[in-house]
A = this chain, B = another copy of it.
């Protein structure tokens, strides 16, 4: 039996250390979980005892393959529910994360299997993140950050790094969505801002924005 809190820690370790393979420091987990380092120490001891994590004192924590498969299962549920909320219940992409944080903990194999089928086996969530299939396999489209993309080429938006409501609303306001195509006209060396041509209009994007938008060459 695994508790909701344990699931959330496992997910955090997965996201912080490249799919849970890299060691993550106690403080890093504490920040992500909005809790204190001492609480994290307690919990990663427990996760380690239960076989979900590898932990050596003062050396940080990583996931075992058992822990990794738990993490992937939760992520699968999170992203499928996000698709449900957008595709079926008309939520916008900036309203879904908090609800999915709750729904991802519902335990029922049949539920997630049927939901997957009902949604027609989506491969990506509304933020462009890949949805692991029932076996844990994830298709990774090769995407780069807009800040890393060269001037002159044409790209399409395929994902976001930050999926906070604020950032997503900024994109909405500027009519940038997944699938939107644009051309990189100019990169200002002084502040690393990027001028793009999108929807037949020039738009200047700050480095911070460019650092949170995933694109791929079109």
What residues make up the interface of A, taking CB atoms closer than 8 Å to B?
Answer: 85, 88-91, 95, 98-99, 102-103, 106-108, 110-111, 114-115, 118
Q: Are B107 and A102 in contact (CB under 8 A)?
A: yes
**Contact with A114, one of B91, B98, B107, B110 (Cβ below 8 angstroms):** B91
Question: Can you sample 14 A-B contacts with CB below 8 Å?
Answer: A85-B111, A88-B118, A89-B114, A89-B118, A90-B114, A91-B114, A98-B108, A99-B106, A99-B110, A99-B111, A102-B107, A102-B108, A103-B106, A106-B106
Complex Cα–Cα for A115 and B36 (A) = 37
Complex Cα–Cα for A103 and B112 (A) = 13
**Contact with A115, one of B89, B98, B114 (Cβ below 8 angstroms):** B89
Q: Are B88 and A110 in contact (CB under 8 A)?
A: no
- Chain B neighbourhood of A90, CB < 8 A: 114
Name the 8 nearest CB pairs between A and B, nearest first. Answer: A89-B114, A99-B108, A102-B106, A99-B111, A89-B118, A88-B118, A90-B114, A103-B106
- Chain B neighbourhood of A88, CB < 8 A: 118
- Chain B neighbourhood of A102, CB < 8 A: 106-108
Q: Are B111 and A89 in contact (CB under 8 A)?
A: yes
Task: Find the B residue at minimum CB distance from A114.
Answer: B89
Complex Cα–Cα for A113 and B91 (A) = 11
Complex Cα–Cα for A108 and B102 (A) = 10
Q: Are A95 and B107 in contact (CB under 8 A)?
A: no
Task: Find the B residue at minimum CB distance from A99.
Answer: B108
What is the distance, in angstroms, from A84's C-beta to the closest C-beta of chain B? 10
What is the distance, in angstroms, from A95's C-beta to the closest C-beta of chain B? 7
- Chain B neighbourhood of A111, CB < 8 A: 85, 89, 99
What is the distance, in angstroms, from A203's C-beta to the closest C-beta of chain B? 30
Task: Find the B residue at minimum CB distance from A102.
Answer: B106
- Chain B neighbourhood of A85, CB < 8 A: 111
Give 6 new A-B contacts, CB below 8 A, not counting A85-B111, A89-B111, A99-B106: A89-B118, A91-B110, A91-B114, A95-B110, A99-B111, A106-B106
